[in-house]
Structure 1
Amino acid sequence: MSSLFAFLHFIAAFALVGALSAQLALLGQEISAGVIRRLRVADAVYGVSATLVAAAGLLRVFYFEKGAAYYFFNAAFLAKLALFVLVGVLSIYPTLKFSSWHRAVKAGAAPRIEAQTLGSLRTTLRLELAGVALLVLCASLMAHGVGSLH
């Protein structure tokens, strides 16, 4: 069962990175109704994959791996957890923007999107991807016994 949850955890993490990358790529295109729909799909995939990463990760911590006492006394794990929360908080801004654009498209209006807004969204998505990369570094350190607070 441990291997199954590790697999689910990894696949969800790969989907999360793919969804963030897709959003960033889509924001490099001319924004149209179709692009907005694809952004919303990528954002939904991101949300589902983030939920699965968290659920599988917590199940691994509490039931399938070394136990909560090990993980919660590991600086690399705590940094990984903090980065996951930070990336989640950063993701709120793009989600709200994509939703507001979708409402405009549904109402039959083409949303007017300023270059500054697109730049802010791209920067936010890059920060999310950087946060995920650092999170993976923390996971690697933790797996190699780095960060123990015991």
Structure 2
Amino acid sequence: MIDFILVKYVHFIGIFAVVGSLVGEALLLKPELKRSEIARLSRVDMVYGLATMVVLGAGFTLWFAIGKPADFYSYNWIFILKLVLFTLVGILSIIPTVFFMKNRKGEQDEYVSLPAKIRNLIYAELAILLLIPLCAVLMANGLGTF
């Protein structure tokens, strides 16, 4: 029982870190950024990536090793939707991550224009993340089983 509680706790902390770092990225965005600001965004994005790995690791542990049987999750279309949404958020995050990594180096006081596409992708990630807890609540209340 203690292992279930610890893994669930790590899962929640990871979720909070994912949301917090993505909100942090959104708040740091401006139409033009100094390379030093992009370097900061890159570090926040790294936290976002690491937190995503924590969420995935704890989530897969909860799915296949601890707690409810794997079939509880595997045969629930809302859980599958939740995974698809999380995967979509991950895919959408690739372009901003690459932009931050490419543009963080160079003269730190030099300004770089932030393409609107980067801002829109980060906002889309946040919007999709809002749907994942809804899926979790629906699933926890017994909905979605095939």
Q: TM-score, normalised by structure 1?
A: 0.89
Aligned ranges for residues 1-150 of structure 1 at < 5 Å? Answer: 1-28=3-30, 30-105=32-107, 110=110, 112-113=112-113, 117=115, 119-149=116-146
1:3 positional shift: 0.8
Taking every aligned residue pair, what percent have the same amino acid on both sides? Answer: 38
1:33 positional shift: 2.8
Runs of 4+ in 1 over 4 A off after TM superposition: none
Structure 1 counterpart of 2:34, which letter? Answer: S
1:29 positional shift: 7.1
How big is each residue's C-alpha offset from its partner over 1:52-79, in whole Å with a ceiling of 9 and x where there is no partner? 0000000001111212111010011000
Q: Is the 8 A contact 1:101 1:111 kept in 2?
A: no
How big is each residue's C-alpha offset from its partner over 1:74-112, in whole Å with a ceiling of 9 and x where there is no partner? 01100000011100000001000001111334xx68353
Q: Is the 8 A contact 1:6 1:56 kept in 2?
A: yes
Secondary structure in 2 aligned to 1:112? strand
Q: Is the 8 A contact 2:39 2:105 kept in 1?
A: no
Task: Structure 2: state its 5+ residue gaps.
Answer: none
Q: TM-score, normalised by structure 2?
A: 0.92
Distance 1:11 1:29 in 2: 31
Q: Which structure carries more relative contact order (alpha carbon 8 Å, separation 6+)?
A: 2
Distance 1:131 1:83 in 2: 7
